[in-house]
Amino acid sequence: MAKLAFLGLGVMGGPMAGHLQKSGHEVTVYNRTALKAEDWVKAYGGASASTPRAASEGADFVMACVGNDDDLRSVCLGDDGAFAGMQAGAIFVDHTTVSAAVTRELYAAADHAQISFVDAPISGGQAGAENAQLSIMCGGDQGAFDRALPVMEVYSKICRRIGDSGAGQMTKMCNQIAIAGLVQGLSEALHFAEKAGLDGRAVVEVISQGAAGSWQMANRYETMLDDEFDHGFAVDWMRKDLGICLGTSDEIGASLPVTALVDQFYKDVQKLGGGRWDTSSLIKRLRAMG
């Protein structure tokens, strides 16, 4: 078993760190809100630290799951950052969804400090984190990935290296691009069924068994029909991710017309007060339009 640090104990990071502790690893956690770290220790054992550096000292692996590019830089760099406390040969695994640019920046900084950096964004939502069923897409050196894989397998159902540094984040962008179109399509189908006077549940029972079936349909249609939107990834975070996708598409010359349109639809949901609703709340926009 390894000595680990886990930085960031949100709805994803908290359960992931818990799985590591329960599997026998020695885990020290850090969270910007110290009370959350204290509550985690009460629930799982392990230890907490007051800074990323203190949490990372002596760790074989440091895992992070924070908010955005700036949050990630803040836990990695500076006198109190994780890199300052990590020993040569240790591995930093980033589960945050951030830009490929900051990933490559931190990969270079880690290399300068004689440590490894693996970008490993996750998909599967809060339920995936709680049930150890996450999909993890990774970028970085093959050797570092191979060493980190047994740790990540504790909370994943699939974990794959896609390529060099940044490839994991680029793959996560593909994931978010695909989800955006799927949720909009599902929202329109359910809205159409409502307007046509059809039983939405009966409709989904049939069409889900054909080519229209998807994870989004299987896991979100009932709460969408019931007008409940507190079951997953928030609109505010989705807009952050889609912003990364659209910015990167400009850099690489990709065309994302549907993604750009759905991003604006999510902006409309935010205007309805739905920034913290889950991403299936796109149907609320359609209902609001009449």
Task: Give the whole-angstrom CA distance, residue 83 versus residue 209.
Answer: 49
Helices (H) and strands (E) in the chain, counts: 14, 9
172 classed as catalytic = yes
Reading the block at residue 88, the tokens are 């040569």
3-state secondary structure of 77: coil
Q: 189-206 in b/e burial notation, b at 16+ Cβ within 10 A?
A: bbbebbeeeeebeebbee
Task: Give the whole-angstrom CA distance, residue 232 versus residue 213.
Answer: 19
Q: Which of 36, 42, 172, 267 is catalytic?
A: 172
Which residues in 70-220 belong to E strands, given as ranges? 91-94, 116-119, 122-123, 134-139, 156-163
Q: Which residues belong to the active site?
A: 172
